[in-house]
Structure 1
């Protein structure tokens, strides 16, 4: 799994970086006949990111103050994520309006380091998945797909504490649906069912998440910057549907719709531990000042 994750991330990030170097993009659209067009490597993603989701594929560097029950850890965290979500292609009608279809792939490595204990790696989670997306009239969007999430303990944390892995792994079938209440406000829900789990004695199969987010107009700093705010809730049957609530707010900076973009924000979370290896046993709260970078 580690080799596969590293390969996916390397290919995706290198490809998107190379594409971003070209000011002029080649025409990658092809007629499919009957009024439909195929576009490879499209400029946009029909299904929005869940901005406040602590497990959305992204590039992140964050400094956190934590109140965590995880044993033998300090009150600080450094969050370092490496990943992206990428739309391979989309199929659209030649007449503007309804029914746009796309395929997304994603991969991310989520890590936490402890600055109070020599920057020891507490643990890391890996995620990859594939989704089919349906965008209906730019108001309602839906997706269905499968994702793999597995969690691991840091080697230094194992050496210091002697803790052993519980084998936390989920292979989910997820169905998400969202609605734009207006041009700036988006609301969504995504239930999931794990068709495979790593620890059958402790894990359960059902989970759900949802949220609401606001993305304002880019009318600040030479029309490159917008204010945004988002809230996300996730809950798992395996932890008695205890809600994990995260809120994020900050500024979204981008040159244009064809470029990658940067978010600088504050992120707050309370609920079960984010790292899967600790999620069944411990709760935590944290406040993070982060830089979030997305490829499009």
Structure 2
């Protein structure tokens, strides 16, 4: 998935404009389907970089970037599917951000396992949810988390489809305070989406996960 987004962010009562630039891809290395197509098994590896930039500064400097690589196995039976993903994440603060703010340089890394089950109870609607567990971390963090959400896409209207998504993440380390991200917009062509996004709760930025923030803005993404 490739995405660029422009948000108004409020964190610790400080308001500023930020840009999110994400780039990633997935390589499927194995797939097996039954002749009737009702059962499917697949495996893939993936990787990506997810960056946050300060639009309020004179040089639009990098605030934070985290890198994620992983491998997943997926199984589908009819409209019900499940996947297990093992991943590694490392995160780093930008040099200009460190100089401008005097923040101590901190790099973090962790490995974890996440299991999600998804189904389609209605046409165009997908719901999902499941637990996660940290296997190793550079910090002493509580291990258990949970993710759930829903994605909806309409039938085609002229040259586009309407879509809406909701993602909820909770982590024992943060007392299960929910981090919520929602988006609504239009899906254009094959894999391109333009929409308005809203987020609140603990920050999704790896370096600031203990700080609460609110986000509102525009997102453009493409999944090939």
> Could you say which TM-score interval applies, normalised by the shorter chain?
over 0.9
- 2:99, 2:188 → 1: CA distance? 41
The aligned counterpart of 2:56 is: 116
CA contact (8 A) 1:90 1:102 kept: yes
Change (3 A) 1:293 1:270: same
CA contact (8 A) 2:8 2:15 kept: no
The aligned counterpart of 2:206 is: 276
CA contact (8 A) 1:74 1:116 kept: no
1:116-135 equivalence runs, <5 A: 116-118=56-58, 119-135=60-76
Uncovered stretches (5+) of structure 1, i.e. residues with no partner: 1-57, 256-260
Measured after TM superposition, the shift of residue 74 of structure 1 is 4.9
- 1:219, 1:213 → 2: CA distance? 18
Kindly indicate which of the two structures has a greater share of residues assigned to strand: 2
Measured after TM superposition, the shift of residue 190 of structure 1 is 2.4
Asked if 1:248 corresponds to 2:183, the answer is: yes
- 1:215, 1:186 → 2: CA distance? 9
2:122 counterpart SS class: coil
Measured after TM superposition, the shift of residue 151 of structure 1 is 1.5
Q: Deviations over 1:154-180 (max 9, x none)?
A: 111111122124443221111110111
- 1:108, 1:288 → 2: CA distance? 22
Uncovered stretches (5+) of structure 2, i.e. residues with no partner: none
Aligned structure 1 segments of 4 or more residues deviating by more than 6 angstroms: none
1:117 counterpart SS class: coil
CA contact (8 A) 1:166 1:199 kept: no
Q: Aligned residue pairs: how many?
A: 223
Kindly indicate which of the two structures has a greater share of residues assigned to helix: 1
Partner of residue 208 from structure 1, selected from 122, 129, 146: 146
Asked if 1:60 corresponds to 2:6, the answer is: no
2:56 counterpart SS class: helix
- 1:90, 1:75 → 2: CA distance? 45
- 1:167, 1:198 → 2: CA distance? 9
**Aligned-pair RMSD on alpha carbons?**
1.6
